[in-house]
Amino acid sequence: MGGGGYVTAVVASRTQQNLFYARTDVGGAYRWNASTGRWVPLLDFVSEDDVGLMGTESLALDPRDSAVLYVLAGTPYFSNGKTVVMRSTDYGATFSRITDVSAQFRVNGNGMGRSNGEKLQVDPGNSNVLYAGSRNNGVFRSTDAGASFTRLASLPVTTTPNENGISFVLLDATSVANGAARRIFVGVSRFGSVGPNLYRSDDGGATFTPVANAPASVMPQRAVLAGDGNLFITYANGAGPHPGPDSLTPREPMNDGAVWKYNVAAGTWTNVTPTGLTTGFSGVTVDPGNPQRVLVSTINTWAAQGNNWGDHFFLSTNGGGSWVDVVQRGFALDTDGVSWIGENSIHWASSIEFDPFDTRSAWVTSGNGVYRTRNIDATPATWTFAVRGLEETVPLGLVSVPGGPLLTTIGDYGGFRHTDIDAYAPVHTPRLSSTPGLAVAPARTSVVVRAGANQIYRSADTGLTWTQVPAQATTNLVALSADGSTLLLTDGSSVTYRSTDFTSATPTWTTVTGLGNNGARPEADPVNAAKFYAYDPAAGRMLVSTDGGASFTAAGALDSWGAPLIRAAPGREGDVWVALRGGGLARSTNSGTSFSKLARVNSCSAVGFGRTMSGASYPTVFIWGSVDGGRRGIYRSTDAGANWLRINDDAHQFGGPGNAQFIAGDMNTEGVVYMSTVGRGVVYGAPVATP
């Protein structure tokens, strides 16, 4: 798909050419491979239990050893808020140490303030010393390369009203004495009216004092030290990257900010904000060979940017005395084959970085990916959407159409029609934003419906063209009868509506009875257009309709709190499978009247079907779960669940099926399987020849 999610920072190595890392809010961390021009994912080994670690808060590179990488990761609403510091000694290919620091401090890779500067830093004088800023308990230090951490009680900061805590930690390499940096700067995500938001230590963290005369009406976002002893700091009136909730006191509108220069030796401040601008600033970088050459980015600014509206970037060659608006001077976009990005802009530009070894080149991050220019001095400067290998969409739906394309729906950008899963695909047009609803009529596969943002579109040609469906009901989820004549609309928790004339200009909608407020998601029988099924997770029962979805009645009993997304075996009437999470996997062959469990399946979060394999007589079954007490993963059965084969390995767990909780086989290619993730897009596997 290409990008699609928020890349919160690019971190450049100053010791090894062409070594760059990217962190994302929900899709893990990546390393740039300059020889292939692709990003390499580093956290695909993360298990389903640890899915929260896909939210990466900060990255740190060891300035004394280019192969060493640290990752600070955690997400409060996943994995019980588990927070870890990971250490790699092979550029992130593997992580030899993962230290659980949850009992001491927490982070939030997908929280407000994820746009801020790096909270994790390696001491330039001692590779064993590591500093970590937290959201709830100040700053911590490790003296054993991340194996353990101790809180710096000398810094009088714990949490902040916006719960972002520390916005950055910065160590001054010129202050190294006796094998450790003596000077440390710490940014705090709060207004000066709440408390000091910039601290300084000149004794290696033994004591911290507020920096006098620091700007108080805005919050520090990022900071960088120039070679001439000046500290450049960007500010905005919020944690960012967008306005905070109105419930915050004081409010954080994220519509004002500044750029300041602080002379470290003299302790003096100079306002170097580009003239006439009242907007937030975030990204800041300084040419390592020329301390007068500084590049900054706005954030949450919607100014003219080519044919769109987004952030601007400003270049100074005199230490901030004057600036050139790089975007206004001339902006060109190279989509690199990702057609959908041409309708979007570079926005939430939290991080902007010179290439330390070629400072004509620069990277900038965005809410939809990462961009790179080879020559920032050019007019126009061309910004390439540099996301090959970086997939950070949040999948919401997927259908493989027999004899047709693969259709996907995702968060934020709608979804795609794929005729080649190894090529960038066109986006669904007209576009929706987040699109959780997607259905194909099982026995009339040209008919497709998608829904999101309280809008519904239908297609009669497998998604080539779309027509809007008028509906009074608010809806997110859809189901189509086998013959495509009946459409059910639901939000999955309250009311479901039905129409048998949804192709007309003024469809008639009636309320479906028998589903109630139970989170049930209707699934059509693939053969009989009069039948629909829905699993009631709270009551632990199957609900069945035999009147085309007009009403549902209780049928077979099941375990409670299984996965609401049930599946009917293609081409078979009444063959229904239900993933029951810790309760395993259940199957009915009598249209939901009764169920039996598959004895060998211990747990199952998702089930789906693919093309029947050669020599088999039943569609291929795929699950995310565990079999015979084995490790949780992706399993395949070609004999209706009698036998199973695990087809992924521990290095490719992707955090499990994420938000959408789906797994689905390809209906046109034997053995190909797709799975949703929390933020790594749709992952797929294909059979390979055995040695």
Question: Nearest-CA neighbor of 440 among 377, 483, 385, 498?
Answer: 483
Residue 589 DSSP code: S
Which residue in the list 25, 172, 287, 525 is annotated as catalytic?
A: 25
Residues 610 and 671: their CA atoms lie apart, in Å, by 7
For 490, other C-beta atoms within 10 Å of its C-beta total 25
Segment holding 298, helix H or strand E: strand 294-299
Q: Which residue has the tokens 């010791």?
A: 15
Instruction: Name beta bridge partners: 625.
Output: 604, 633
CA atoms within 13 A on the CB side of 662: 29
CA atoms within 13 A on the CB side of 430: 11
DSSP string, 51-87: GGGGSEEEEEE-TT-TT-EEEEEE-TTSGGG-EEEEE
Contacts of 617 (CB under 8 A, 6+ apart): none
Which residue in the list 49, 202, 325, 412 is annotated as catalytic?
A: 412
Instruction: Name beta bridge partners: 415.
Output: 409
Where would I find the beta strands (DSSP E) of 184-293?
Answer: 184-188, 198-201, 209-210, 219-225, 230-236, 257-263, 268-271, 280-286
- Locate 517 and state its tokens: 């407020």
Residues in the chain: 691
Cα–Cα distances (Å) from 42 to 19, 390, 439, in that order, read 14, 11, 33
Residues 396 and 658: their CA atoms lie apart, in Å, by 10
Q: What type of residue is 146?
A: G
What are residue 327's phi and psi, to 5 degrees? -75, -45
Residues 513 and 497: their CA atoms lie apart, in Å, by 9
- Locate 317 and state its tokens: 């060659």
- Locate 573 and state its tokens: 């009437």
Residue 339 DSSP code: G
For 70, other C-beta atoms within 10 Å of its C-beta total 26
CB contact at 8 A, 652 and 659: no
Let me know if 62 is a catalytic residue.
Answer: no
CB contact at 8 A, 349 and 283: yes
Cα–Cα distances (Å) from 665 to 398, 475, 668, in that order, read 10, 27, 9
CB contact at 8 A, 290 and 282: no
Return the CA Rg of the chain. Answer: 27
Residue 342 DSSP code: G
Question: Nearest-CA neighbor of 59 among 428, 351, 395, 404?
Answer: 351
Let me know if 559 is a catalytic residue.
Answer: no
Question: Nearest-CA neighbor of 69 among 61, 57, 58?
Answer: 61
> Which residues are catalytically annotated?
25, 412
